[in-house]
A and B are shown apart, each in its own frame.
Chain A
Amino acid sequence: MRELKILAILVFFTGVLYWGVEPFAHSQMHKHVEPADFTFEDVDGLHGAKGNAINGKELVSMNCTACHGIEVAGFTAPMDDASAAAAYGVTPPDLSTAGHLYNADYLAAFIKNPAKASHVAHKMVDGKVHPMPSYDWMQPQEIADIVAYLQSIAPKEMTNKEAFVNACQRCHSAKYGDFRFDGTKSSMAAKTPDADISKYMGTIPPDLSQMIRSRGPEYLEEFINEPAKHLEGTAMPRVGLKAEAQEQVVAYLEEIGDSSKDKRASAGPKFLGYLVIFALFAWLWKAKIWRDLH
């Protein structure tokens, strides 16, 4: 009985200490933010307009393909990644998958005014302008047509890696996705060279290999959806990923950054099961030996 009392005291104080330095301390250090919002109701989007993909195709070939490649539609990128980065500051994305990855309202808002929609207007000062011009001179219907076209050519499904490559890899590397011990260039290096991106962003965007361990899925979900919520004044734009696409990006980060998660989950119960058996036998043995003593 006394031993149980001592154990209860130990558990109590250890528990209070744990609560104080972990959940409580972290709740004080990290501000609580609203959960991710995938409705994008706040953007100046389509306002319910239905687009016509055929008109959209025409508009896209006239307005977009001078800078952007659209591989699925036969438009190759006008420049290679490095030259495009040197010309614009950052490598422009191929638009083949935009209709699948991004929320339609967000896409519309972005085409109208990229800096405003992606929440980087605060960076566009001292003569700096967003590399993509605003198309707010177009009719709302024309914007809707462009979005409809991008959706019509987009794949219906993508792998986690494809989602990451298209949504993130222009700026971020993820070297654990293709780790090179010999120092050769990883296929998961950022598409925009470091020198250009640091000029464009003011810093080299971090490699994302360990973000799943350093930030965790919950933070990533809130952060990718709206970076400024957690990091005020950040250079990272809001990218407007749909919920499913963002889940795929986070899943990819877990594949490359915490690949032993499944092994952990399956080995854990086995270890604990073995130890329960060990503890049981140890107690029985102890009881047998101590029976003669009292």
Chain B
Amino acid sequence: MALINESFFSAEGLEKRLAGKKFWKVMMTEYWIPKDINFLWALGVVLATTFSILIISGIFLLMYYKPDTALAFDSVNYTIMQEVSYGWLFRHMHGVAASVVFLIIYIHMFTGIYYGSYKKGREMIWISGMLLFVTFSAEGFSGYMLPWGQMSYWAAAVITNLFAGGSLEAWGLVEWIRGGFTVGDATLTRFFMLHVFLIPVVIIGVIVLHFYTLRIPHVNNQISDDIDYDAEAEKYLAGNKRESKVIPFWPVFLSKDFAVLGIFLIFYFYLVFFNFEFAMDPVNFDPANSMKTPTHIYPEWYFLWSYETLRGPFFDMFGMKAGDIGLMIFGLAQVIFVVFPFLDKDPDVLPAHKRPKFFIWFWVMIVDLLVLSVYGKLPPIGANSWIGFTFTALFLLLWVSLPFVTKSDAKARGAL
């Protein structure tokens, strides 16, 4: 190591030791982003901001929340909501951000799918992103339990009970997860630990990984142009900003992000103050009662589509019980998006509107997930069950057809 003689107590001394200017350059002013992007490219920063809102509001809630079945409900609904200054604001911000973060995640995810930003070198971005989806889901589920209302309790009972399926039961998995034979105090305290410590730490780690995976293959652009970043960066630095196809992360890319963020925050805070019931279900303002099953049990909206694939097969088939088939499809639904890059057999990176059959696949998938979400909330009776069944089958069919659809597009283009 070269010894540093400049004083520690001087600007040059610190710069020598930390190389802050170089760090700033690498991370900000010479981190190159394509210029041909639209506002959907700002959603990463919107997500990072929403996650920060969740952490900050969560810290304030953590100061008063009591993870004990006898105290939890009142610590949330009395102490935080009515006694603590602005406690209601932090809870509303936390609850609404937890819901809205999933809306943005889904949009972010389908932006990636639409523009083909998951393949040809960008697989790690996609996989780390899907890891974030899974960890955020675990975070959402564990957090929903904490207010210890009726929906907290019954959603926990129903979802943990999924691990009692088939041979899983023999391993005692449900009891291991719950910390007992039923959902109770041990369940609450361990999910509290998961929610405020383990999962957030993992999420922060995976966010760092996600940012890192972007660095080498670079962000995709609207027309999936394969950019020579070194050449384009040189143009930009030489002052040919108009001709250059790239922009620096700071200040150019972030200036657009902040503009989009401004609009997003108006929408978000409107929900926080004026329209929050979709994120804070009224049923959960009834204290948990193991003796009284609510008439309708449903998960938060962002789990509804996969929940409906669980309920979709409602009659026994192929010599298997309906519940077991549902569980298998549900399990598949949780992980299938991860392998997207490997099911897409098209060798080109192109936006969906340049891939006619995939374009149709994309919108059918969106509509399918929408229908599954709506019917995941409705009681599974009469025609509802059949609609759930049909769209679950369509969901599976879409995944089976994906390699063929993408290959057919490539053939028509002459790429295969």
Nearest residue, chain A, Cβ from B376 = A21
If the complex has contacts A278-B265, A279-B263, are A290 and B256 also in contact, measured as CB distance less than 8 A?
yes
CB-contact partner of A285 in B242, B247, B255, under 8 A: B255
| A25 adjacent to B377 (CB under 8 Å) | yes
Contacts of B286 in A (CB 8 A): 206, 210, 214
Q: Report Cα–Cα, A25/B87, bound state, in Å.
A: 30
Contacts of A282 in B (CB 8 A): 255, 258-259, 261-262
B8 CB within 8 Å of chain A:
no
Contact flags B300-329 to A (C-beta < 8 A → 1, else 0): 010010000000000000000000000000
A125 CB within 8 Å of chain B:
no
Stretch of A56-64, A89-97, A103-111, A261-269 on the interface side: A261-269
| A179 adjacent to B374 (CB under 8 Å) | no
Interface size on A, residues (CB 8 A): 50
Contact flags A281-294 to B (C-beta < 8 A → 1, else 0): 01101100110111
A24 CB within 8 Å of chain B:
yes
B373 CB within 8 Å of chain A:
yes
| B274 adjacent to A268 (CB under 8 Å) | yes
The smallest C-beta distance from B364 to any residue of chain A, in angstroms, reads 13
B137 CB within 8 Å of chain A:
no
| B374 adjacent to A275 (CB under 8 Å) | no
| A21 adjacent to B262 (CB under 8 Å) | no
For the residues of A in contact with B, the DSSP-based class is helix
The 5 lowest CB-CB distance pairs between A and B, nearest first, are A279-B262, A268-B273, A20-B374, A214-B285, A260-B88
Given A20-B373, A210-B286, 14 other A-B residues pairs in contact with their CB atoms under 8 A: A17-B373, A21-B301, A25-B374, A29-B377, A29-B378, A213-B282, A260-B82, A264-B89, A272-B266, A272-B269, A280-B262, A282-B261, A290-B252, A293-B35
Q: Which residues of B contact A (CB under 8 A)?
A: 35, 38-40, 74, 77-78, 81-82, 87-89, 92, 103, 107, 241-242, 247, 251-252, 255-256, 258-259, 261-263, 265-266, 269-270, 272-274, 277-278, 282-287, 295-296, 301, 304, 366, 370, 373-374, 377-379
Q: Which residues of A contact B (CB under 8 A)?
A: 2-3, 6-7, 10, 13-14, 16-18, 20-22, 24-25, 28-29, 176, 179, 206-207, 209-210, 213-216, 259-260, 263-265, 267-268, 271-272, 275-276, 278-280, 282-283, 285-286, 289-290, 292-294
